[in-house]
């Protein structure tokens, strides 16, 4: 998807392949009459922040796009009615996000461990251990995995946490299964990563 931004009249014309004739005519008019078009491309496809959920048809979202000179802009995308086409506004700025809540995927972890028949003692230790790590998690940015929703980030367990857990259970019965569980699930989309729910502000 690209956005044609007319520097003369300020209009933004998306080029997503879904435009109707009227929109295409408007875009062509800017191109032929105003002759000063900047072409912007989103920095990451489908990556945008919004106060409303993705499924909400009338929502306002923000994302970054770069122009042909590599300059980064904030794009505001919204519509006021389901039947209206999307409107765009482009401006200089930054999308600041911050952590609102970090949580452990407790339910999912318990379910997985039950399926693997890993002992309840291991389970309770693991959950307790992860919860105790929460205060330290947000400072450890090396292990952050950003998915396609910048407001819902996964944070993998770092090497220190993994070593600590493995050392704890290595000599116990079921240690091998537990070790496999850790390496299999401490991945994006796994049950071990912390969930970092974020908020945002345009600055």
Cβ atoms of 20 and 57 within 8 Å: the answer is no
Binding-site string for Zn ion from residue 8 to residue 47, where x marks contact by CB under 5 A and - marks none: xx--------------------x---x-------------
- Our CB check for Zn ion shows the closer of 36 and 176 to be 36
Q: How far is the CB of 10 from Zn ion (least distance, A)?
A: 7
60-77 burial by CB neighbour count: b if 16+ within 10 A, else e?
A: bbbbbbeeeeeeebbbbb
- Our CB check for Zn ion shows the closer of 8 and 39 to be 8
> 90 forms bridges with which residues in the sheet?
75
Rounded CA separation 96/189 (Å): 24
Q: How far is the CB of 87 from Zn ion (least distance, A)?
A: 15
Q: How far is the CB of 44 from Zn ion (least distance, A)?
A: 27
Q: How far is the CB of 23 from Zn ion (least distance, A)?
A: 13
Instruction: Pinpoint the alpha helices (H) of 138-174.
Output: 159-169
Query: What does the binding site for Zn ion look like in residue numbers (CB under 5 A)?
Result: 6, 8-9, 30, 34
């Amino acid at each position: 998807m690209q956005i044609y931004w007319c520097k003369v009249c300020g209009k933004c014309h998306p080029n997503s392949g879904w435009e109707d004739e009227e929109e295409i005519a408007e875009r062509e008019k800017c191109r032929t009459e105003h002759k000063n078009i900047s072409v912007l491309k989103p920095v990451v496809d489908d990556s945008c922040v919004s106060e409303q959920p993705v499924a909400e048809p009338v929502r306002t979202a923000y994302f970054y796009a770069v122009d042909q000179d590599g300059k980064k802009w904030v794009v505001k995308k919204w519509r006021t009615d389901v039947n209206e086409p999307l409107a765009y506004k482009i401006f200089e700025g930054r999308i600041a996000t911050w952590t609102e809540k970090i949580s452990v995927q407790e339910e999912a972890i318990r379910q997985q461990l039950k399926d693997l028949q890993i002992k309840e003692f291991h389970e309770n230790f693991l959950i307790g251990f992860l919860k105790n790590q929460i205060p330290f998690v947000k400072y450890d940015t090396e292990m952050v995995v950003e998915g396609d929703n910048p407001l819902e980030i996964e944070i993998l367990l770092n090497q220190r946490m993994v070593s600590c857990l493995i050392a704890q259970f290595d000599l116990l019965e079921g240690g091998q299964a537990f070790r496999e569980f850790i390496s299999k699930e401490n991945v994006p989309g796994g049950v071990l990563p912390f969930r970092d729910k974020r908020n945002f502000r345009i600055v």
